[in-house]
Amino acid sequence: MLKRIIVALAAALVLGAGSAWADFQLDVREFRLDNGLTILMLENHTAPVITYYTFYKVGSRNERRDNSGVSHFFEHMMFNGAEKYGPKMFDQALESKGGQNNAYTSMNVTAYYEDFPVEALELVFDLESDRMANLALEEEKVKSEAGVISEERLVGVDNDNEGIMYEELFATAFIAHSYGAPVLGWMESIRNFNRADCVEYFKTYYAPNNAVVAIVGDIDTQKTLKLAKQYLGGLPPGPPPPRVPRYEPEQRGAKRVFIERQAEHEHIMRGYHIGDKDSPDLFTLEVIQFILTTGESSRMHQSLVNDLQLALYQYGGFEWGLDPSLFYYYVAVAPGVDYEATERAFDSVLNELTDNGPTPDELQKAKNSLTANFYKNYKTNNGTAHELARYQTLYGDWKAMYNFVPGVEAVTAGHVKEVMERYFKSKNSTTVILVPEGGQS
Amino acid sequence: MKRVMIIVSMAVLLSSAVTAKITLPTSNEFKLDNGLTVSVIERPQLPLFSLQLTFRAGSTFDPAGKEGLASLASDMLMRGTATRSDKQIADQIAFGGGTMTNTCGFVAAGFNGEFLTTQGEQAIEILADLVRNSTFATEELEKTRTRTLGFLQSRRENPGTVANDAIWEAILGDSRYAHFSGGLSHSVQALTRDDIVQFAQNHYTPDNCILVVCGDITTASVREWVTKYFGDWTGRAVLAPEETSFPTVTGREVVIYDKQDATQTQIRIGGNGIPLNHPDYPALEVARTVYGGTFASRLMDEIRVNRGLTYGVSCRASRFKPGGLLYVTTFTKNATVAEVIDIIFSEAVRIQEEPMPDSELADGANYQCGTYPLDFETNDALASVFANMWLNNLDKSFYEDFQERLRAVTVPQAMAAARSYFPRDIYKLVLVGKADEIKSQVEKYGPVTVRPFTQ
């Protein structure tokens, strides 16, 4: 539930977007079962629908050189049959009751969700407990799924210019840490996974004490807790997952990689090593990302796309990493333009922000927009459940989400300059350039 | 202080989303003297509101030979007014936490925005400025044209995009819906500022649009601001007659777009579908769901789950007033193209000729009914619904009766719909892949034309 106060009409433009949400509080109920499973619940009775998220604290960062992609592979296997609901039955059972589901794997987490009508709640508990406890992992299904994921890789990486560049960027930037391997895995890994790999992985990571469940929607908290205990309370906890080596040596100089492929124009991707989710620079980086790359008023768009016409479009981003990660930019070089001209303009934009910092209006605009975007995450059951589970998984406390708005609000122009100087320097950069094979058309 | 739910409310009668009848929220509609239609849906749960200004001004209003005009004109609405540069427009919208983008599809063009409640008047004022005072400056036009041409070229890099464009073109032939709404390179190159000014005068008029505002905002406030900023707006629309029917696909045709470095082939197979509000829609929707509309569908089951030949396969239907199209979309490695296409056909035949179990029919209808409420969850989604009703002359029953009509579908009706519209004997087949490796596999499906990947 959200308590809100009415604010004077003009206040937000003066005080910042956060003032409209000054009393934002969610009435989240938090439970910890004896087996270590954390369950978050939020009642919302406006429609007879529910979202159920399960986050497992495992992603590609937990992988080794010889099993890259196993987290994502395993995500697929979670839909391929368990003890009670055999192959094909998970989707069939849920969809036939009017529900939909999906999942994703990132460098840090693996997340599963279901959106469904109220009367399917017990079914969803049954489905989730079945696969958390007794995944079948049939050898035949492992082989078949390898084909599916090979095709996923072919469409998203091998036959996609931006996909190839992203993979190359991380593989080049990280020489020790597992963030250097692609979430989808290398093709060789995908084709060679076997049942034993999956069983080992299941035992290691898919235990209730390594998971967070968030349920948001038309629920009765106490009745839902009873169901949670009935279906999930009896699952045995697993051993603590092995520690991930955080080591990544400091980069000692700029790295550059060229890719030649069939393309209509040149492309640039650039990454800079940054800190992790606990870095004091996290919110400043959010502000920097907004100022540089978000929307038509951003500096990169205004300079590269609008004024100089050296790029078609651009974007930037970073994942809040459990370990120090990478801030990356992408620029689609305008057809007929040499990437070097675009890259020079790109560097000028970075240097300008580093040297002079943001203007007061620019800083306030970033804060207002980031604050508004933060709250927009809570417009739906699915968005709300996702954010609760994400914060709980990353920080061990969903209430860490309340740090976002004050954190962004506290960023100063001085912080922006300091952080730009600290990270956005040539020595810390990895650049991937994709040029059309045989020259531009 | 008021305690409210975090989700915008949706009035739903009865107790279950599977059995519930969706009831759209109340919309307060009024019209200004100049003909501007305004619809306000008050949903005060979050201090946010969405707005959509929708004109009948999409790409199907492009005159012949001027493809891309509607899209370019729409883009130019964000490129500067008499008192604001494009950067000032973007800055002022973002400063308070809002977002606004221009849009242009086949039928409609306009703006979509989301703002904080506190930006109410500012949002309406900026919107009015864009619509009424855009200068269409020559320098900005040339920049926008250059970028548009770049985008059109850039789209040709992606095999999936090329395949999608090609199947629409193959099925719809000389229809105005056949090409991407952004236009064609040669026609965009030839557009003039006079073309754009004329298009704007003919289409961006108060009698040719609806403004839908949905969220934490009052009707009284919207009425006050709209009257203030749009009240003396003048103009009368001059619209070209809309297309009344789509060409009919006859025979079979196979087109390969030859991408020499492709290790995977994009596949699209389809033909004519049904127009908006056609009586076959519920039956076709259930049949399509069973065939290729969910993770548990027959196509997914056989191609992905049983054989591991693809990551995704689905049957898609698009409907417009003059007609529709229906096609299957998937991709697979070059070596298994024919195997996948054979399954697409054999599964179509199975639905057409073998009565599906009642339980499978019910599952398909339940899936559609159960997920339907999610289409009405946000302010943006509801604003789109109300804009669409105005655009296509639909009433609330179009949405509110949909679940009931789905549940009434019988097995013979679903089979009949599949027989009428699923690809079997008459179809267009488009492939984007390495011709050397796939041509011999697909010659059995019809006469093959090979075209270069980039045109």
Q: What is the pLDDT along chain A (441 residues), one digit of tens a residue?
A: 332 322 222 222 333 445 556 678 899 999 999 999 999 999 999 889 999 999 999 999 999 988 999 999 999 999 999 999 999 999 999 999 999 999 999 999 999 999 999 999 999 999 999 999 999 999 999 999 999 999 999 999 999 999 999 999 999 999 999 999 999 999 999 999 999 989 989 999 999 999 999 999 999 999 999 999 999 999 999 999 999 999 999 999 999 999 999 999 999 999 999 999 999 999 999 999 999 999 999 999 999 999 999 999 999 999 999 999 999 999 999 999 999 999 999 999 999 999 999 999 999 999 999 999 999 999 999 999 999 999 999 999 999 999 999 999 999 999 999 999 999 999 999 999 999 997 755
Query: Which pLDDT belongs to residue A278?
Result: 98
Q: How much is the CA Rg of chain A, to the nearest whole Å?
A: 23
Measured between CB atoms, which of A88, A161, A297 is closest to B94? A297
Q: What is the pLDDT of residue B46?
A: 86
| The predicted structure's pLDDT at residue A3 | 29
Among chain A residues, CA nearest to B432: A159
Rounded to the nearest integer, the mean pLDDT of chain B is 94
Query: What residue ranges of chain B have pLDDT lower than 70?
Result: 1-20, 455
What does the H/E/C string look like for chain A? CEEECCCCCCHHHHHCHHHHHCCCCECCEEEECCCCCEEEEEECCCCCEEEEEEEECCCHHHCCHHHCCHHHHHHHHCCCCECCCCCCHHHHHHHCCCCEEEEEECCCCEEEEEEEEHHHHHHHHHHHHHHHHCECCCHHHHHHHHHHHHHHHHHHHHCCHHHHHHHHHHHHHCCCCHHHCCCCCCHHHHHHCCHHHHHHHHHHHCCHHHEEEEEEECCCHHHHHHHHHHHHCCCCCCCCCCCCCCCCCCCCCCEEEEEEECCCCCEEEEEEECCCCCCCCHHHHHHHHHHHHCCCCCHHHHHHHHHCCCEEEEEEECCCCCCCCEEEEEEEECCCCCHHHHHHHHHHHHHHHHHHCCCHHHHHHHHHHHHHHHHHCCCCHHHHHHHHHHHHHHHCCHHHHHHHHHHHHCCCHHHHHHHHHHHCCHHHEEEEEEEECCCCC
Mutate which: A3, A114, A159, vs B, most B CBs within 10 A: A159
CB distance from B348 to chain A under 8 Å? no
Pair A13, B97: CB distance under 8 Å: no
Condensed to tens digits (0 to 9), the pLDDT of residues B310-348 reads 999 999 999 999 999 999 999 999 999 999 999 999 999
Residues 308-347 of chain B whose Cβ lies under 8 A from any Cβ of chain A: 308-311, 331-333
Residue A430, min C-alpha distance to chain B (Å): 24
Looking at chain A, which residue has its C-alpha nearest residue B20? A48
What is the C-alpha end-to-end distance of chain B, expressed in Å? Answer: 62
Res A19: pLDDT: 55
> For position A22, what pLDDT does the model report?
63
Q: What is the pLDDT of residue B293?
A: 97
Going A175 to A178 to A184 to A188, the CA torsion angle's sign is positive
Q: Could you say which of A3, A91, A296 has the minimum Cβ distance to residue B296?
A: A91
Q: How many CB atoms lie within 10 A of CB B422?
A: 26
pLDDT of A65 reads 87
* Predicted pLDDT at A334: 97
Note whether B87 contacts A: Cβ–Cβ < 8 A: yes
Question: Which residue in B has a C-alpha nearest to residue A305's C-alpha?
Answer: B147
Q: How close, in Å, is residue B182 to chain A by CA atoms? A: 15
pLDDT of amino acid A249:
96
Query: How much is the pLDDT for B14?
Result: 35
User: Hey, is the C-beta of B160 within 8 angstroms of any chain A C-beta?
Assistant: yes
DSSP code at position B276? T
pTM metric for this prediction:
0.93
